[in-house]
Amino acid sequence: MKIYPVILAGGSGTRLWPLSREALPKQLLPLCSRHSMLQETLLRLAEWPELMPPLLTCGNEHRFLVAEQLRAIGIAPLGILLEPEGRNTAPTVAVAAHYLLQHAKEGNEDVLMLVLPADHMISDPEAFHAAIRRAALVAEKGALATFGIVPSAAETGYGYIRRAKTALPGAEGCYAVERFVEKPDRATAEIFVKDEVYSWNSGMFLFQPQRYLEELREFRPLIAESCQKAFDGAYRDLDFCRLDEASFAACPAESIDYAVMEHTRQAVVIPAEIGWNDIGSWSALWEVQKGDENGNVLRGDVYTDDVRDSLIRAESRFVAVVGVQDVVVVETKDAVLVVHKDQVQGVKKIVEDLKKNSRTEHMNHIRVYRPWGSYEGIDMGERFQVKRITVAPGGKLSLQMHHHRAEHWVVVSGTARIVRGDEEKFLTENESTYIPIGVKHRLENPGKLPLHLIEVQSGSYLGEDDIVRFDDIYKRS
C-alpha cells in the first residue's frame, strides 16, 4: 500500500504568544531553525522517497502562507484542503480520508494515510521511519495505529496510552491499546513513567482511510455525515480544495481521540523513541534547543549578565537581561513577554484576556502578510496612518476603492505598475502618486525584485474593512 502523509496545519498555537498569533501561528514560524515548523515536517518526510506527496489541511486565512512555504522548499503537495472553520481533528481527518479515497479510486491504488500535526519536532527521523514501517504492517490489516512516545519524564502536559504487555502476534513492536488516559497529575505521571506499558499520546496516526471512516460512522455518525456532505460539496479555488462551508460548520467539533480512538476495538500503539516534542510551550522550546555555557537559548540582539537556564528572544530590538534564572523573555514589535519557565502554561490566559478586552495583539503582528506580500504599520494618529508595503515579484493587489480614505504612495525601491481610474503608469524609486477617495486603483509589481513603498492614508476612517474589491486574482471576497 502507498502511504500518503496528511499534514494538519491548522490551529493558533496560543501558548507561544506573543510570537505565535492567529494570523501567523507557530506551525508557520521558524522556531528551531531557518525553516518553519511546517517546512521542517515536510522536509523530514521528503527524505523518505517511499512516501507519496503530502495532503495538507489548513484554515482559509492561512492558505497563501502555507502554499508559499511549500513553494519555498520545492514541495508540490497532492492537495491543500481548506477548513471553513476549526472543528478539531476528527472532522479534519475525515475529509482528508474522503480526498484520499477519491484520489486512490482514480489511480486504482490501495492507500494508507499518515496523519501528522505540522508543528511537532522529531529529531530522529530514521527511528520514526522504522516506527512507520512497523505501523504499516498492522494498518494494512485494518488496525488504527497510533504512535506512543516512550516517556523520558513525568510529563503532566500530555495524555498517555496504556498498552498490552505483549506484542501482537506476528507484529513486533505493535501492541493493542488498553485505554487512553487524560493528562495526569504529577504523582500519577511518575507512576506511569516507571511502568513500561505507558506512552505519551503523540497525536500521530496511520490507517486506511476507509477504515477510519467506518469507525467514525459507528461511533460519531453525525460527524461522519457532515464531513461526507462537506466533501461532496467541495470545489476548486485556484490551487486549493474548498469544503462546503455550511456542512462543515454544522459538524460537531471533536478530537480524533475522543471520537474514534477511545472507542474502537482496532486501536494499536507503536511505542517509539524518535526525539519527539510537540513544542507546546516556551519551556518546551528551551528544552529542545542547545544552550550556551550557562544553559541559555538566545536569539536576536540579546545581552545577558548572570543569567542561567533561560530562553531570551529578541525579534526587533536590543534586549538586555541581568541576574535571573529559569525565565522566558520574548520581545516582538508590539508586545513583550516575561515569565518564569514553571509558569509558561499561563501564557494562554494572556491570550484569553486580550480577546475578552477586544484587543488585537493575539491576532496580528505589526507586519501583516497578504498573498501579494506584506504591510507594516509605521505610525498612526488622528485621521492619518503610515504603512510600509512590500509587494513580491509578480504580486498584484486587488482592483479596489475606499469610501473614507485617500492614499499617497511613494516608491522606495523596485518598480510599481499603478492603475488609477482610467490611468495606467509605472513608478520607480523616489516617484509618487495620489489616490483620491472613491477612485478605483490597483498596485502591481511587474519586476523581478521586491517592490517597497510607503503608503500614507488620510481620512475619516482608516479600517482595513473599508475596501471594495472589483477584481482579485487571489479570489478573496
Could you tell me the pTM of the whole model? 0.91
> Residue 110 in contact with residue 270, Cβ under 8 Å?
no
Give the CATH fold of the 2-277 domain.
Spore Coat Polysaccharide Biosynthesis Protein SpsA; Chain A (3.90.550)
> Residue 417 in contact with residue 467, Cβ under 8 Å?
no
**CA–CA separation, 44 and 41 (whole Å):** 5
Which pLDDT tens digit goes with each residue over 142-185? 999 999 999 988 888 899 999 999 999 989 999 999 999 999 99
**CA–CA separation, 27 and 13 (whole Å):** 8
**CA–CA separation, 343 and 283 (whole Å):** 9
Through-space distance between the first and last CA atoms of the chain, rounded to whole angstroms = 41
User: Cell for 176?
Assistant: 493493542
Given the DSSP bridges, would you call strands 384-391 and 373-381 parallel, antiparallel or unpaired? antiparallel
Per-residue pLDDT of the chain (477 residues; tens, 9 = 90+): 899 999 999 987 789 999 999 999 999 999 999 999 999 999 999 988 889 999 999 999 999 999 999 999 999 999 999 999 999 999 999 999 999 999 999 878 899 999 999 999 999 999 999 999 999 999 999 999 999 999 988 888 899 999 999 999 989 999 999 999 999 999 999 999 998 899 999 999 999 999 999 999 999 999 999 999 999 999 999 889 999 999 999 999 999 999 999 999 999 999 999 999 999 999 999 999 999 999 999 999 999 999 999 999 999 999 999 999 999 999 999 999 999 999 998 999 999 999 999 999 999 999 999 999 999 999 999 999 999 999 999 999 999 999 999 999 999 999 999 999 999 999 999 999 999 999 999 999 999 999 999 999 999 999 989 999 999 999 887
Q: Which residues of 83-101 are buried (b: 16+ CB within 10 A; e: fewer)?
A: bbeebbbbbbbbbbbbbbb
Q: Using the Cα atoms of residue 44, residue 47, residue 52 and residue 53 in order, give the sign of their dihedral.
A: positive
What pLDDT is recorded for position 11?
82
Give the CATH fold of the 367-471 domain.
Jelly Rolls (2.60.120)
What pLDDT is recorded for position 106?
86
**CA–CA separation, 146 and 473 (whole Å):** 41
Fold equal for 2-277 and 367-471: no
Given the DSSP bridges, would you call strands 423-427 and 416-420 parallel, antiparallel or unpaired? antiparallel
DSSP-derived secondary structure for 61-74: GGHHHHHHHHHHTT
What pLDDT is recorded for position 53?
96
What pLDDT is recorded for position 292?
96
**CA–CA separation, 247 and 231 (whole Å):** 9
> Residue 230 in contact with residue 247, Cβ under 8 Å?
yes
Q: Where exactly are the structural domains of the chain?
A: 2-277, 282-351, 367-471
Unique residue bearing C-alpha cell 505501523: 135
What pLDDT is recorded for position 50?
86
User: Cell for 250?
Assistant: 454544522
Q: What are phi and psi of 196, to 5 degrees?
A: -70, -5
